[in-house]
Structure 1
Amino acid sequence: MAARRPSQTISSDSLTFADLGVPDTLNRALAAAGVDRPFPIQAATLPDALAGRDVLGRGRTGSGKTYAFVLAVLTRLAASRTSRRAGRPRALILAPTRELATQIDSVMAPLAQALSLRTMTVFGGVAARPQIAGLRAGVDILVACPGRLADHVETGHAHLDAVEITVLDEADHMADLGFLPTVRRLLDQTPRGGQRLLFSATLDAGVDVLVRRFLTDPVVHSVDSTLSPVAAMAHHVLHVNADERFAVLVELTAAPGRTVVFTRTKRGAKTLTRRLVAAGVTAVELHGNLAQAARTRNLQAFSDGAAQTLVATDIAARGIHVDDVTLVVHADPPVEHKAYLHRSGRTARAGAAGTVVTLMTDGQVPEVRELTRKAGIKATTTRLRPGDALLRELAPGERTLVPQPVPRAAGTRRETQPTGTRREAQPTGTRREAQPTGTRHEAQPTQGGRGRRGGGKSTPAASTTRSAPARSGAAAFSARARPGARRGGR
């Protein structure tokens, strides 16, 4: 493979999408969606992608890379003379998580409709039969998670020999989740002469192997590393007593505006959500123990404002875009600095400002100090207690607390999965979505409803509130977590 060619710096200040080669039909659809000026990553990559070149794009979270490859794919397919055929998509976009795949399709679908192109998503956790029917009907652009797509390919319901353009989004995250062997097998089945676009935060290890093996003379565009801190993001570390940490969190989340709160484990996200709701905060949970319908429902509630707080594991650290998230709270500091930056990237997106707060107890001081150093951020550290004036500066506005009873959670993976579904495949052959590298799975129930770990019945909210005192250590909001533990990342 020839050496990668660096890109030229392109200023997007005066450019329009039409200047970059985007057709009028798409320009009108973009204008209707309120998108009128390209972001730097779009201005940099679109000319090369529209010219049919292989592109390696790197841009920080929230930089607008989804539109960068979506517009390229749609424009290229609209200009192609081929037609869709049953079971043979013309373009393939691979994404590491269901939420990211869904989000990509939601951005692309109205634009594709304007061009009379058909899109669909394929991922695990939902019934396979509707996906098979959609593939059989013919699709132009398939947005897929690797595991479920591999299932359809193996059973002959999907064939990749007609793919003209392939996109790998969040390639480094696919590597973290262990999907690269599956990705390689899928790419091997696409035509060697097809165009390929790869977007990644880093080129570590397996990602660089993908670039060297599947991209031909790629043009490299780096517009703010996805691991670079965002200038419009203010970072604060709140040094609190362990037994007052929950009260501080309530003060932050009871303020107006959308807040994303991160925990280390799925159990911790579930328990913390119930405690917040019992305290009067409108909150929903998002983690890997929820069935897909519940994940979609909760994310929609957060998006439309029915719930103003989303309590999540690192499943929401990438690929989740909700407008106007003003505050991100690391209730449990993450293990790795990359996770800190990706979590924090849920705010201050697309040029907006945002605030990031890390709650730190005495036992977490060395860990958090090392975390911020590796992340390259300068955080303001303040020791405080509930009621401190700084809390209203970080999350301004009138606090609203409406305590409500919390029903037993539905939609967890303890429930029977739809017939014929399989969980997202790991390269080892298991069908469960992979945890980030270095994590340990927590409480993954089996099909019949009995978990290997923590598989007991759900605890009612009142009991949860009474029996969940604050803990010290690195992950007080995450059940049984210890300082430095790498548990339950999804």
Structure 2
Amino acid sequence: MSFDALGLPPELLKTMTGLGVTKPFPIQAAALPDALAGRDVLGRARTGSGKTLAFGLALLVRTAGLRAVPKRPLALVLVSTRELAQQVSDALAPHAQALNVRLATVVGGLSINRQTALLRNGVDVVIATPGRLADLVSRRECHLDRVRITVLDEADQMCDLGFLPQVSDILDQVPSDGQRLLFSATLDRDVDQLVRSHLREPVLASVDPVAGSVTTMEHHVLTIHPADKYATATEIAARDGRVLMFLDTKAGVDQFTRHLRASGLRAAALHSGKSQPQRTHTLGRFVDGEITVLVATNVAARGIHVDALDLVVNVDPPADAKDYLHRGGRTARAGRSGSVVTLVTPGQRSDVNRMMSEAGIRPTVTPVRSGEEKLTAITGAKRPPAGARDSGGNAPFRGLGTRPGRASKESRKTAEARRTAEARAAARVRKGR
């Protein structure tokens, strides 16, 4: 199928061609015909599969030519995070401009007064996180009684993050005869409840397996000694090219980022403790290549799109299969290839094996130590710049970056001393959590 065959407006096709969007991805080909026809659509598609245009083009075409009155939008896109809201907005903006459709992004962490002003001026499509939209509705700054099309993007993540009551309340305020488009990587439990309660005879558009595995993505489990964990992670971070690294906690992210910067690497931290402008700026620097290592908590697993990102590293293994799939979904997007590497200590093996099984993943398992050729072969790892200082003049934190027994002439006693120092350094990082 081509976009031409869908009967899209000429001005939209011209804009899409200019952006290199000429052939639909599978989820777009599966969902767009029914969505354009006004039917409810239940889409099962992993993150990075092209689903934004699968619902976005239909939403814009069906809204074009209409004009919203102040405070009463005509279409609504609900998303799980601020980053995803911005990603959706950026993806739809040129197409909306071509059709003269007005967009507004409504999320927490940014000025509510500015968002209120946009709504008062009149916007046709609102892209929102549930919490901020509920706040604006309660203030009577936004009314949902004229919404004709409602999209739930990454519905499973909204439910996992505790937004189900707010989402249900919002859907109850939207006219019941409007169109509903729901997209999710999984269609179980709370998502099934949303479907049963708020969609009318939806057409199923499913192009991915239930587990959401991706054929262009490689999965590696690297088994490591606990004392060598951060030395291994540091060498991976020093690779050529960008890398996204996940840790469990904000304190852990900040501590490891400081260590990487002290080791001479261009690293930055991303987590919920940062303001939204800080998060947007940091992500922009990573996308532009100004920084090469983004160290993050799970906040970065929701709604971040970076072209040609080929490696994601779980320094701390994720808690469950959904978190693993969403973390990994930052690479191997839109048909490209990529790898997900998870560092696992002996005490974590059973939990990680269980999680991988639930995710439908069969990873390649390799025991490694920092400085080994097989670590480099899998991840591109290399030694960080020796004796480097970060922009603040701080000397590198050598305790996390050295491998025991690296020098061939090093004595056994010296190697043991290094292992002890490294274990203490790793303990300090864990204590900082």
Equivalent residue number for residue 157 of structure 1: 141
Alpha-carbon distance, 1:235 to partner: 1.3
Counterpart of 1:121 (choices 105, 120, 128) is 105
For residues 39-50 of structure 1, the aligned pairs below 5 Å read 39-50=25-36
Name the CA distance, whole Å, in 2 between partners of 1:127 and 1:93. Answer: 19
**1:300 is matched with which residue: 277, 281, 284?**
284
Deviation string 1:215-236 (CA, Å, 9 cap, x unpaired) is 1111011110363221111111
Name the SS for the 1:57 alignment partner: strand
325-334 vs 29-38, which deviates more? 29-38
Matched residue, 2:46: 60
**Corresponding residue number in structure 2 for 1:170:** 154
2:223 aligns to what? 239
Task: Tell whether 2:339 aligns with 1:373.
Answer: no
- Work out the CA distance in 2 between the residues paired with 1:19 and 1:327: 36
In the TM superposition, 1:82-481 aligns within 5 A as: 82-225=66-209, 227-396=211-380, 401=385, 403-405=388-390, 479=431
| Residues in 2 aligned to 1:198 and 1:74: alpha-carbon distance in whole angstroms | 16
TM-score calculated relative to the size of structure 1: 0.79
Q: Find the residue that maps to 2:215 and give its secondary structure.
A: coil
Contact 1:274–1:461, Cα closer than 8 Å, also in 2:
no
C-alpha displacement at 1:49, in angstroms? 0.2
What is the distance in 2 between the residues matched to 1:397 and 1:390? 9
| 51-60 or 366-375, which deviates more | 366-375
Cα distance in 1 for partners of 2:338, 2:44 equals 22
1:407-445 Cα shifts (integer Å, max 9, x gaps): 5xxxxxxxxxxxxxxxxxxxxxxxxxxxxxxxxxxxxxx
Which whole-Å CA distance do the structure 1 matches of 2:134 and 2:60 have between them? 24
Deviation at residue 392 of structure 1 after TM alignment: 2.2
Shift of 1:275: 1.0
Question: In the superposition, relative to structure 1, how do residues 465 and 114 fare at CA in structure 2: closer, same or farther (>3 Å)?
Answer: farther
The 1:255–1:271 alpha-carbon spacing in structure 2 relative to 1, beyond 3 Å, is same
Unaligned runs of 5+ in 1: 1-14, 408-459, 482-490
- AA aligned opposite 2:4: A
1:470: Cα distance to partner?
6.0
CA 1:397/1:462 → structure 2, altered by over 3 Å: closer, same or farther? closer
Post-superposition shift, 1:337? 1.5
Secondary structure at 2:145's aligned position in 1?
coil
**Contact map agreement 1:264 1:478 (CA 8 A) in 2:** no
Three-state SS of the structure 1 residue aligned to 2:219 is strand
- What is the CA distance between 1:395 and its match in structure 2? 3.1
Question: Are residues 467 and 237 of structure 1, via their aligned partners in 2, closer, same or farther at CA, if it must alter by over 3 Å?
Answer: closer
AA of the residue aligned to 1:52: G
Post-superposition CA distance 1:186-217 (Å, at most 9, x none):
11111111111001122222221211111111
Quick check: 2:236–2:381 contact (8 Å CA) kept in 1? Answer: no
CA distance in 2, matches of 1:354, 1:226: 20
Whichever residue aligns with residue 252 of structure 2, its letter is G
Query: TM-score under structure 2 normalisation?
Result: 0.90
Aligned position for 1:454 = none
Is the 8 Å Cα contact of residues 227 and 423 (structure 2) preserved in structure 1? Answer: yes
More off after superposition, 264-273 vs 395-404:
395-404
**Contact conserved, 1:21 with 1:50, CA < 8 A, in 2?**
no
Give secondary structure in 2 for the equivalent of 1:324: coil
Counterpart amino acid of 1:317? Answer: A
State yes or no: 1:37 paired with 2:26: no
How big is the shift at 1:475? 11
Amino acid at match of 2:50: G
- Please state whether the residue corresponding to 2:310 is helix, strand or coil: strand
Aligned residues: 412
- Is the alpha carbon distance of 1:295 and 1:471 closer, same or farther for their aligned partners in structure 2, counting shifts above 3 Å? farther
Bigger shift: residues 354-363 or 365-374? 365-374
Q: Which amino acid aligns with 1:331?
A: V
Structure 1 residues 363 and 118: CA distance shift in structure 2, 3 A: same
On the 8 A contact 1:265/1:478 being kept in 2, the answer is no
Bigger radius of gyration among the two: 2
Aligned to 2:406: none
| Larger proportion of helix | 2
The 3-state SS of whatever aligns with 1:325 is coil
